[in-house]
Structure 1
């Protein structure tokens, strides 16, 4: 695949040639995307990044997922600190720097305090949160046995997901319920959009704490995402969008004025992260 081949070329050119983190898998991921005027997104990006454009728009994404086996990449690190399973929710957009496409995160909610602290040290704006997820009324336990990811042909499953950021003051929230639709064939627009959204193999961050002056890029290795359509039964994401500075989109989402692109993936893995480095 072209995106994976391009990412391998970037990795070969890196100065910091080591993996610092790995995940055994990303599973049961919901991707929700809204078109936004490029100038709105550009105002919220650190210097050096510009919005990546599809169909004349920048895009804002909400991703809800389960992250399995999060740990240091080195075998000794995995031995000293047991790999963590946790839920995640993030608000992102798609950007370019020197024509290299990637993801920029405004926020990432995480049900593990340890994982949140580790990511913040690397410059990625993680926030600990209280999170719950159910699949057909079967709850997910972050420290329990690993459930098998859904089969490639899975459809009809109903998911619920909720998150409330930890803290004493403002506590942005998100909640969603969705179900899977049959696989589509011949829907080129759906497939082209989904591929553009999910096949991203670089992450940009502004250090420190996602707001500083130093622009970093980390690279990611994982298999191609398998995706299928999904339908939202309920979505309340406005508080999380507002916290990212996207007040107009938050108002539109609350009023149901913009229909998002929605897709689902049963997951990918393993996932390897190369250390963030200045660009």
Structure 2
């Protein structure tokens, strides 16, 4: 089932995976952030993961394809656009992963389930992904009045052949992550994931307008971008992390 695992930074979880997802038309927009500006927004139980002393924030708009719970048919309420906004963290220096500041999706049921089951900051948004030849226009406008206004409109075009990020590079550090963290109250949780190495392409971002996390003072001037046409991801159950033993 798992064609390749030697690229992982630690072995596969010994537990049973519970779900697969297929991600399509995945755009990564990476922004460097001063660590001291980021630290106050992550839980005290996590450590900020930095590259050469630099923290990073990444906006990830993509198209959610099939969602298949283990042993069940494909979840019929799928195929919708989504945006994740994330930074990079570790648990006491172990298992580098991602921490989400927000996840916008255009399916209300998905928003409710993810908030309840994964303790993730999901929001309902009106979203679209349009294809024009070999170019894409992704747009989103958050609809929840109780949250800060959040918008994104990005016009982009994949512009190279496929390649895999080399270990020891910033590209690899940003892209190849195999768990995510979430919090509920004072409790920290981690979910292990697995996927094959990302098949990346360079991407030309023609225009971008975003208002997703103004508290970070992020402008439209991203520093680095990646694109991947598709990726299949396996998920293991969310587990509470012992803050003393990881």
Instruction: Tell me the TM-score range normalised by the shorter chain.
Output: 0.7 to 0.9
1:124 to 107, 120, 125: 120
2:158 to 167, 180, 191: 180
Taking a change above 3 Å as real, the CA distance of residues 63 and 268 of structure 1, as seen in their structure-2 partners, is same
Structure 2 length-normalised TM = 0.86
Which residue matches 2:193? 220
Q: Per residue, is there more helix in 1 or in 2?
A: 1
Which residue matches 2:103? 108
- Is 1:203 the counterpart of 2:194 in the alignment? no
- SS of residue matched to 1:200: coil
- SS of residue matched to 1:64: strand
**Structure 1: any 5+ residue segments left out of the alignment?**
138-156
CA offsets, 1:67-93, max 9 Å, x none? Answer: 111243332xx37x5251111111100
**Structure 2: any 5+ residue segments left out of the alignment?**
242-246
CA offsets, 1:218-258, max 9 Å, x none? Answer: 01122211011112111112x2122xx32x22xxx15x4xx
Taking a change above 3 Å as real, the CA distance of residues 213 and 162 of structure 1, as seen in their structure-2 partners, is same
> Distance in 2 between the 1:171 and 1:40 partners?
21
- Is 1:160 the counterpart of 2:129 in the alignment? no
Q: Which runs of 4+ in 1 moved over 4 A?
A: none
Deviation of 1:114 (Å): 1.1
Which residue matches 2:78? 84
- SS of residue matched to 1:6: coil
- Is 1:4 the counterpart of 2:1 in the alignment? no
1:67 to 64, 68, 77: 64
Which residue matches 1:144? none
Over aligned residues, Cα RMSD in angstroms? 2.4
Deviation of 1:2 (Å): 5.2
Number of corresponding residues = 234
- Is 1:266 the counterpart of 2:229 in the alignment? yes
> Distance in 1 between the 2:155 and 2:135 partners?
7
CA offsets, 1:91-121, max 9 Å, x none? Answer: 1000011222000000000111111111101
- SS of residue matched to 1:43: helix
- SS of residue matched to 1:182: coil
Query: 2:25–2:228: 8 Å Cα contact kept in structure 1?
Result: yes
Query: 2:166–2:172: 8 Å Cα contact kept in structure 1?
Result: no
- Is 1:277 the counterpart of 2:239 in the alignment? yes
Which residue matches 2:203? 230
Taking a change above 3 Å as real, the CA distance of residues 7 and 58 of structure 1, as seen in their structure-2 partners, is farther
